[in-house]
Chain A
């Protein structure tokens, strides 16, 4: 390989890793919710869309920088998730999984159609001065917005780990994940914990939405794509396995980028889906870990 193609390889790899970081952030939220409550959140991508649209609205109305709007979006996402778990999903009781599955599907429809009514169907984007800023690092062009997105993912995931393994709340969350009844008997308010977990999951999706906004455009049904990506990521890593979700996201990002670069862009989504199928066939428990570790 000559030096130009080596540079091109590294550039594609770096971009794949950074895109993968965003997938990881989206997947982590989904995986966290599944790990604790065994609920597959079909509205995950739509919560991401909410994050995008709040950012868009704040930018259009008050010219607030997308990254500053994190201060609004993250708490709003958490509150939304908390309320949804507390007043919708928790009320479904201990029925089979179908109840919560249908409920999240319905919530997703409500969210995307509300966005449609409020913002219209046309794609919208925001134009910030740093949208195309880049810097060179060892010959590799790196996008500033994409790097910020990657760093944001890192901060969010490290923060989540500290929360889970260094705090009393984290211990309660892990206890609820392992055995809700046992945790309840030890004095953990599991309904409260579950609401907090759903809040965190939604906040993660919404944060990912904010980080995507300087890079891409949004439209009301944008969430569908990301729900699919989140599924692939969590299945690659193993459902409910958080480090697995991070690794799954990075793997997906790199597979897609390198596949599109070296083989053909026409089948870009196919590379991720092929990996997904292979994992389902050969390692249904996920790429990482022998058993499904929960949170």
Chain B
């Protein structure tokens, strides 16, 4: 085995063909789009770390059939048009599959373009429901859709006998998906929605909305905001003096370590939905957390990093199963995937109107004493929830 690898490595420079050379020998190049620069760069940084850890693990275990893998990472600069250009470059580079990243508004455009070009793409972080609903044969998603963000929070509300709640949500694709799903769950669980306020990007004064909500005194408040608004929202909520039993954030900015740092005491006891925590009990979770932290130079990884890692592992597995880098064969292999990663179990199913969607539940955590602690579901050995009143 070793001999073969060495021989392959030695021959690689001789046999390497231009960009299209995906068959035969040499490294297997997989495409990835993320936001290396621009306003989503914070998430991009997390994903680059996840990619690095994933590629290192696959190659350490012998790569795919003895061939090493390599990612071609294209930057979409947090911009739709640049994202499409990035996708086009990957299509032309002849990659068998593309890992597709963070912002729902960007990912949807990239995913649809790639699907039209018949390139399988594996969405790893973006959660807007409409990416896999109705979806396409070529779009696969391993992370949870927006609906699940709403479900986990509403489950906590239901379990604690909340009777009323308010929603504040941005008008972006992800925010809208979560808020709309929350509406549906509230109906199902018999929780009255006393306010549902949506706001456009750029709004920075939430006081009037919070005053309105304060007057109705709901049991819970769900905030699905643009990343940067999470701190402003919580500061103003404390300032206005609105006091529900729980403040809940629908991931995005609320789940980042920076949220705790910047909001300080205002962020205390806020609960948030999140896709992954190191306390989950899948094989390899602890090791992954340590590896990601090392790759980030000591910074605490967020779930985005774990998703990027899982993306690489699943992509490599699909190519291995396909036995080829042919796009159609890789697509068929993705359809048949059934594996467990340190991020969670992965298989792509059609259900509830979703297509090729990994049915995975979310986790919830709460800021307690300035750190995130898991509070839901039972499998994470939850801490008791602290209520505002």
Which residues of A are at the interface with B, using a C-beta cutoff of 8 A? 4-5, 8, 11-12, 15-16, 19, 120-123, 125-127, 129, 131-132, 134, 141, 143, 146, 215-217, 219, 225, 256-261, 264-266, 268-269
Contact = CB atoms under 8 A, between A and B. Distances in A.
7 contacts: A8-B212, A11-B240, A12-B211, A16-B208, A121-B41, A225-B202, A269-B203
B350 interface: no
Contacts of A132: 235, 238-239, 265-266
A121 B261 CA distance: 18
B8 interface: no
Interface stretch (B115-123, B151-159, B226-234, B275-283): B226-234
B204 A143 contact: no
Interface of B: 37-39, 41-42, 78, 197-200, 202-205, 207-209, 211-212, 214-215, 227-228, 231-232, 235-236, 238-241, 261-266
Contact of B264 (A131, A146, A257, A260): A131
Given A121-B37, A132-B265, A217-B228, 7 more contacts: A4-B215, A15-B211, A19-B205, A19-B207, A131-B264, A215-B232, A269-B203
Contacts of B262: 125-127, 217
Given A120-B41, A121-B41, A216 B232 contact: yes
B207 A266 contact: no
B197 A12 contact: no
A226 to B, nearest CB: 10
A184 to B, nearest CB: 43
A123 B197 contact: no
Nearest to B239: A143
Nearest to B215: A8
A251 B172 CA distance: 30
A15 B228 contact: no
B227 A257 contact: no
B208 A123 contact: no
Contacts of A123: 39, 227-228
Contacts of B207: 12, 15, 19, 257
Nearest to B263: A127
Nearest to B39: A121
A22 B261 CA distance: 27
A261 B212 contact: yes
A261 B78 contact: no
Nearest to B209: A265
Given A123-B227, A269-B203, A131 B266 contact: yes
Contacts of B214: 8
A261 B239 contact: no
B36 to A, nearest CB: 11
Contacts of A225: 202, 204
Contact of B231 (A121, A125, A129, A141): A125
A12 B212 CA distance: 9
B237 to A, nearest CB: 9
Contacts of B240: 11, 141
B206 to A, nearest CB: 8
